[in-house]
Amino acid sequence: MRKRKSFGVKLWLWFLLFSAVIFLALWLLQTVFLESFYNDMAIRNVKKAVDEMTAHASDSDFYEVIGKVAVKNSLLVFVTDKDGNVLYSADEYRRLYGESEQSESVTENPYYADDVMNWEKGALRNLPYRYRTLVNELNEAGTDSVGFVTEDETAYVTGVRLVDGMMLSVSLPLGTVGGTVGILRVQLVWVSVLSLALGFVLAWIISKRFGKPVAQIAASAKQIAEGNFHPELPKGFCAELDELSDTLGETASRLEKAQNARREFLANVSHDLRTPLTMIKGYAEMVKEISWSDEEKREKDLDIIMREADRLTALVNEILEFSAMQADGSVKEYEKIDLSCAVCEVIEQFAPFCEQNGYVIENKITDGITARADDAQIKRVIYNFIDNAVNHTDESKKIEVSLTLSYGRARFAVTDYGKGIADEDLPYIWDRYYTSRNRKNKTVVSGLGLSVAKEILIAHKAKFGVDNRNHCTFWFEL
């Protein structure tokens, strides 16, 4: 049973609504508006026919042209002289009764005749009773042509003055589609019933066909949410759904990588935290029970406790800092800072560590370089980049730090001489909690250092990246 709000049901209902609107429009056009539409088109055709006839008024085949146009457009046409005598007449039945040879005018003005029209071959017909109205309209208008719909709206009449006082009178019945409308109504009933039935079935088939891959993708997305990162994703129905399947597959892959990274991070942190916590507790007990009276031993034990506490504090602070940056979406106005001094200050923070562990930081800093930035945040980025280089450099323990100015932009770069970043690690180095197995320094790390740097640099609208071609170089530009 399909859900009422499912894609397939909605598609089916919209298709039915579309069909209903089409049939409603068809009914209105073919029944309600058919007569007015027909009358408008008929009047246009009359005007075109009159233009065609008057264009041949001076030709020898004028009457022949009138006859053909009258038959073609179902018109009643009279050509009269200035006294109202009929010189020529034609209508749509002209071909049935043959051509009238009207070489002479009638002796009595038929304008006043009330005799029944004589349909015999060769006979002239009486003028229609609207002829007087047409003449009056022409006289009142003061123009060479006039056209109007009769008061009872049963005909359209138009007249044109020709040369030598002759006048062309053309009329066409209106509202003659009543019988046709009745026939169309019966026909439309059958067409509508059959078409709606067919549309109902067709809409159901189409909705089912379109809804199936969407439902499959939704089911696959649900599996991903439940932890199955390798669901079967449907492909081949259409390009858009194929692209959605590819995106969903890529998302699942990234989620799996992120989940594995978090698990690894939690495993590493939980393992590494046991040591400092155990040491803090153990040395605290030693101070309390053994070395409290021995000042030298007590100081050493307390130093160890403080060092291990600092390690834990640094880890917690890094995690809290990243969470705060993720939550802060405000746009900040930065002040101009001395970037050269900022880099030197951060390098100085590493001096005790380098001296104790034999690391060498080559300083290639250009003096006097300034940039608009948050001093504390940029120092955090510089610190994270240098710390990352310390963790990944080779046995030479050599690190190069440079700050240069190029085309108005300050470029900071940190290069280590380790093995570089593995190809499988490169797409994920900026992700949260991701840590490489190639780091040399095995102290506990959160995997947030580069993620924090990324968030800060994005907020500063800086360019940044990593060059992994020869040695590994992390850089940013302000």
The per-residue pLDDT for range 312-351, each reduced to its tens digit, is 776 676 666 656 665 555 556 788 999 999 999 999 888 8
One-letter amino acid for residue 140 of the chain: E
**Long-range CB pairs of 122-129, under 8 A, 24+ apart, other chains included:** 122/98, 124/86, 124/89, 124/100, 125/78, 125/86, 125/89, 127/78, 127/80, 127/84, 127/86, 127/169, 128/76, 128/78, 128/169, 128/171
- pLDDT above 90 (res 84): no
Question: Closest Cα to residue 30, out of 200, 199, 189, 196?
Answer: 189
- pLDDT above 50 (res 467): yes
pLDDT value of residue 117: 38
Question: Cα-atom radius of gyration of the chain, to the nearest Å?
Answer: 48
Question: Closest Cα to residue 30, out of 171, 186, 134?
Answer: 186
- pLDDT per position as a tens digit, 135-163: 888 888 878 888 888 887 788 889 998 88
As a whole number of angstroms, the distance between CA 418 and CA 472 comes to 7
Q: Residue 25 in contact with residue 220, Cβ under 8 Å?
A: no
Q: Predicted confidence band at 400 (pLDDT cuts at 50, 70, 90)?
A: very high
Residue 190, CA atoms < 13 Å, CB-side half-sphere: 4
What 3-state class would DSSP assign to 54? helix
When mean pLDDT is compared over 37-46, 251-260, 360-369, 448-457, the highest value belongs to 360-369
As a whole number of angstroms, the distance between CA 295 and CA 58 comes to 136
Mean pLDDT of 270-297: 71
pLDDT value of residue 18: 77
What 3-state class would DSSP assign to 3? coil
| Phi, psi of 203, rounded to the nearest 5 degrees | -65, -40
Q: Predicted confidence band at 399 (pLDDT cuts at 50, 70, 90)?
A: very high
pLDDT value of residue 30: 66
pLDDT value of residue 102: 43
- Report the share of the chain in percent with pLDDT over 90: 13
Residue 181 token pair: 């409308």
- pLDDT above 70 (res 45): yes
pLDDT value of residue 3: 55
Residue 296, CA atoms < 13 Å, CB-side half-sphere: 0
Mean pLDDT of 73-96: 80
- pLDDT per position as a tens digit, 411-465: 999 998 888 887 777 877 887 666 655 444 444 455 667 888 888 898 888 999 9
Residue 213 token pair: 């891959």
Mean pLDDT of 90-115: 49
**Long-range CB pairs of 225-234, under 8 A, 24+ apart, other chains included:** 229/253, 229/255, 229/256, 229/259
Residue 121 CB contacts under 8 Å (≥ 6 apart), including other chains: 97, 98, 100
Mean pLDDT of 93-110: 47
pLDDT value of residue 342: 93
Mean pLDDT of the chain: 76
- 315-343 as b/e, with b when 16 or more CB fall inside 10 Å? beebbebbeebeeeeeeeebeebebbebb
